[in-house]
Structure 1
């Protein structure tokens, strides 16, 4: 009995995409990064490098620029890496071998834990202002969000046996899935990147579909819940009050009430509980 995969993207694939984004969205020509494993950051993605010196780089906690960023959980900058006195120089052979002069390291922090580091660098001394730092922070935040979502979904959805063609869940496991779905919706609501939101929506649809034992009952073609209507209905499905939903989704309570009423109207339901039941039967909610 194994875990059912939720995504074909490994952590390394997510890091690779983030590293590519660094060179596209900042003015730094070279970028690299990796996730923490056994107390060290293992660099698995490199883009823009002119040599092979960065291949296989493993950075220990507290060592070098990235190791310091990992421990402190905040960005670190070496404007002139060779002469920097604020870091250890364990990795000079790799960094200076690539010819890097300025190096910027940003930790990937997920739920208060540093999960990895992404770097961007240049072969000449280059100032790091908001034009560079802002996009680098955005990339790090997007990667942290993807890792957080992936971790949470895998933690809960992987309870399904991989050998079962149709997962069968007990009441406890089903409730876990519903909580996961509601949490995922609240995370997605705060993500501005359109491509990332689309990937989150794919995971949401999978969560909704695998938790339904029976085929979905078709609704009228006119019934389409907006993202926010789905958000509040998913929270209501967990028994949350309007005030609790408002706090979770950073909305006003009156706005939550409006979204709920709109969803109930579309689903032709007189109560929130009836709306939840209809949405579940239609496969709109897990």
Structure 2
């Protein structure tokens, strides 16, 4: 399903599979998401045959099925002779000529959503660095899926190409989504993902803007944490609640609020929120 401002799940998967091959140096990579109880492989790079096309992996079957069920990576240095997996998919894997195969699950909120694979056509050592790289690719994909799901849940799949007026209850939902997106963004290391999140935050701000209130131009730049704290305050949270939400000390929250109020020339947090919204700094 489409989520405004973000790539589709298929696009995210294709990018992750490409990254997996490029970053690990393994010549072939493929992956898929869970569909109707099984993992359907829909993205492949580097393959020499069509044997992997349309592969559907059942839970606990083969290398990927075990990785999916156990929610941890699985490795077969010599896939053909491995005794630790079932060999339901030998026709596809061995037919492609793969010897060494690594499978890593994509886990979102504790639930396996899919599997990524990378492999080579000969027995190849799979070191700690390669494992860390593959895990990071899977983690980045899981983060983007989590973002899509949160945005979809909170926006109710708002797909308008231009901002439209929204009612009061919907506006509050969007403002809560904005705060949640900033929390997620703080945990993301990938600069590309953070840029996309920032673009989506701007879209949320545009969606919630009151068309009857003229925009106010202010030469003010809030720091990321000042914005986070003020956004939480805009939802009516106390300093203690903001501290718990953002994993900060209550005194630190107070300092950020005071700094934001000073920059906005506001005597109260409410006034600071109003001015920030008029200036387009908050949704």
Fold agreement, TM-score > 0.5:
yes
Matched residue, 2:11: 13
Contact 2:230 2:273 in 1 (8 A): yes
**Structure 1 residues 237 and 88 mapped into 2: Cα distance closer, same or farther (>3 Å)?**
same
For 1:192 and 1:48, the matched residues in 2 are separated by 28
Matched residue, 1:249: 246
Contact 1:18 1:139 in 2 (8 A): yes
213, 216, 219: which one pairs with 1:218? 216
Structure 2 unaligned residues grouped into runs of 5+: none
Contact 1:5 1:158 in 2 (8 A): no
Could you say what secondary structure the match of 1:108 adopts?
strand
Alpha-carbon distance, 1:129 to partner: 2.5
Could you say what secondary structure the match of 2:60 adopts?
coil
Matches within 5 A, 1:1-286: 5-7=3-5, 9-158=7-156, 160=158, 162=160, 167-214=164-211, 217-221=215-219, 223-286=220-283
Deviations 1:75-106 (A, max 9, x none): 11112111112211111111111111111111
Q: What's the TM-score once normalised by structure 1's chain length? A: 0.91
Structure 1 unaligned residues grouped into runs of 5+: none
Contact 1:105 1:120 in 2 (8 A): yes
Alpha-carbon distance, 1:8 to partner: 5.5
For 1:100 and 1:262, the matched residues in 2 are separated by 58
Stretch of structure 1 that moved more, 264-273 or 139-148: 264-273
Contact 2:31 2:116 in 1 (8 A): yes
Could you say what secondary structure the match of 1:33 adopts?
strand
For 2:27 and 2:233, the matched residues in 1 are separated by 48
Deviations 1:192-220 (A, max 9, x none): 11111101111111111111131661332
**Structure 1 residues 243 and 29 mapped into 2: Cα distance closer, same or farther (>3 Å)?**
farther
Contact 1:216 1:282 in 2 (8 A): no
Alpha-carbon distance, 1:181 to partner: 0.8
For 2:168 and 2:278, the matched residues in 1 are separated by 16
For 1:258 and 1:130, the matched residues in 2 are separated by 43
Alpha-carbon distance, 1:119 to partner: 0.9
Stretch of structure 1 that moved more, 136-145 or 253-262: 253-262
Alpha-carbon distance, 1:126 to partner: 2.1
Contact 2:102 2:119 in 1 (8 A): yes
Could you say what secondary structure the match of 1:285 adopts?
coil
Contact 2:218 2:279 in 1 (8 A): no
Contact 1:166 1:213 in 2 (8 A): no
Stretch of structure 1 that moved more, 37-46 or 182-191: 37-46
For 1:137 and 1:121, the matched residues in 2 are separated by 14
